[in-house]
Structure 1
Amino acid sequence: MRKVYFISGLGADSRIFKYILLPDGYEKIPTHIIVPNKKDTLSNYAEKIVLQYNISNCDIVWGDSLGGMIAVEIAKQVRLDMVLLTSTIKTDSEAPWYFKIFRKLPVYELTPAKLITKLGAFVKPIMRGLASEDAETIKSMLKNSTPEFLKWGAQAALNWRNDKIPDNCYHIIGDKDLVFPYKNIKNPTAVIKGGTHIMVFDKAAEINSLLADILK
């Protein structure tokens, strides 16, 4: 049984991957938040994930959003068999324009931590068309997120620097992703039509189809 470790992004948890189906012979292993030190970089945090879950050579890591950046950092520490990326960037050169603004004006540092988990109104646009149960799941993930982790993650993502693309890297992006616009992504494996930043959740059927071919 080949292990596939799933790493979610900011404001999400393993439930974001609830509709992802792996072919026979693959084991789905969700990872959970590890409390970071304030000065941890994504590289430091990736090392903690590796140690906590005993990720080893020939394993597969799937990272979504911030989890994708962490997956890239894991690949620099462990000889992974494959890296799967969704709704993320693989190098800092793919970062959106607003990263430059927030690096100079780090508004996340001035925002009370508890307020960050109550920004449900800002995710309403990407929840349009979801079944009510799924919309509640998305809101629940944000509400249950650790405020301190959200602030740390924003800072770590903005300060991330990487120009090395992992071997056997498969990068899937949505053409409606407002967080990481697909036009910034160099040589994506696939672009999901209508895919938003939560496409791993609401476009899972299309991603599962791609996944079946990739894992062959």
Structure 2
Amino acid sequence: MTDTAELQIESLGPELQTPKLQSDGAIAKGLDPFAGVDKADEASREIYFISGLGADWRVFHRLQLKGYRPVYICWERPCRGESIEHYAQRLLAQVTTEHPILVGLSFGGLMAVEMAKLCDPAQVIVISSAVTGAQVPNYYKLFRWLPLQLVVPFKRLLWAVYGLMTWLFGLDDPEDRSLFRQVLVDTDPFFLKWAINRVVGWRNQVVPKNLVQIHGGRDRVFPLGDRNVDIVLPDGGHLMVLNRAEELSQLLMATLATDPAQA
């Protein structure tokens, strides 16, 4: 494994210098990162949530998981050329539970898989994501040979196709679109390019034990196709964690009830 000290580190943006919430403005707008916590339950079991590309806890804020306490993994500034495996090892430092429950969304699902390979998780739940490299759409791999994300101002390009992005992510509600817009504003361009490169180059073949894959039937970012997943939410889009939060909360509670550690 490459030593972090040997990797060239770019100067940090102010929002990524330390692990912290990426948008204080979101709290001012009334979002509560612990909205789904049973505050009377001091013995709540921790669940570690890993969000998608450059996103943060806001994408999970509508989930209601009684008896569980969310811990939101913070994205850290990647080193230039850092592998996804090495980065997963760094994120694992934020996990303090011996047998953690890892929940990953989109790119966070890939990270949850990589982190699970480095620890002994009680459960791994992957939402709107891929478990192996074979589940990454083949057309994504075109970015290996035509790396537009490296030669154009990629974040500016995303703004240019913002309408297409909201369609891809299945966002019709104005409130959801507003949240998505704010997340996009807060996304670090360097991290975004690094993460896209890791997605298109991901070749993992290992499926961690105790893994459950939940997918939406209308996911346009990672289309369901003929992939064999554990749970399908009909008509669910890529960000069903936002706009189908009640149904997804029920599915998560049912999945968590199958935790081997609780048996």
State the TM-score, normalized to the length of structure 1: 0.92
Give the number of the structure whose alpha-carbon radius of gyration is greater. Answer: 2
Deviation digits for residues 182-206 of structure 1, max 9, x if unmatched? 12532x1211111111111111111
Q: Which one-letter code corresponds to 2:60 in the other structure?
A: F
The residue identity in structure 2 corresponding to 1:191 is V
Alignment of 1:171 with 2:248, yes or no, is no
Secondary structure of 1:124's match?
A: helix
Q: 2:250 aligns with which of 191, 204, 209?
A: 209
Deviation at 1:116, TM superposition (A): 4.6
Instruction: Quote the offset at 1:43 in angstroms.
Output: 0.9
Judged with a 3 Å threshold, the aligned counterparts in structure 2 of structure 1 residues 137 and 69 are, in CA distance, closer, same or farther, namely same
In the alignment, structure 1 residue 151 sits paired with structure 2 residue 196: no
2:113 partner SS = helix
Match of 2:145 in 1: 104
Separation in structure 2 between the aligned mates of residue 11 and residue 59 of structure 1, nearest angstrom: 22
5+ residue gaps, structure 2, are: 1-43, 258-263
Structure 2 CA distance, aligned partners of 1:87 and 1:97? 17
| CA distance in 2: counterparts of 1:32 and 1:11, whole angstroms | 10
One-letter amino acid matched to 2:63: I
Q: 2:86 aligns to what? A: 44
**SS of the residue 2:143 aligns to:** helix
Alpha-carbon separation, structure 2, partners of 1:184 and 1:171: 14
What is the distance in 2 between the residues matched to 1:49 and 1:153?
A: 14
Paired residue secondary structure (1:191): strand
1:68 to 88, 109, 117: 109
**1:174-189 pair list within 5 angstroms:** 174-186=216-228, 188-189=229-230
In 2, distance between residues paired with 1:40 and 1:123?
Answer: 27
1:2 pairs with one of 35, 39, 45 = 45
What is the rounded CA distance, in whole Å, between the counterparts of 2:157 and 2:148 in structure 1? 11
Q: CA deviation at 1:127?
A: 4.9
How far has the Cα of 1:214 moved from its partner?
1.1
- Work out which of the residue numbers 14, 34, 46 in structure 1 matches 2:57: 14
1:174–1:182 CA contact under 8 A, matched in 2: yes
**In 1, are the aligned partners of 2:101 and 2:122 still within 8 Å (CA)?**
yes
Aligned length: 212
RMSD over equivalenced CA pairs, Å: 1.6
- Deviation per residue, 1:54-101 (Å, 9 max, x gap): 344311111000000000000000100000110100000111121231
User: Against the structure 1 CA distance between its residues 184 and 147, is the aligned structure 2 distance closer, same or farther, given a 3 Å change threshold?
Assistant: farther
CA contact (8 A) 2:170 2:238 kept: no
Distance 1:143 1:122 in 2: 16
Does the 8 Å CA contact 2:170/2:237 hold for their aligned counterparts?
A: no
Distance 1:57 1:161 in 2: 27
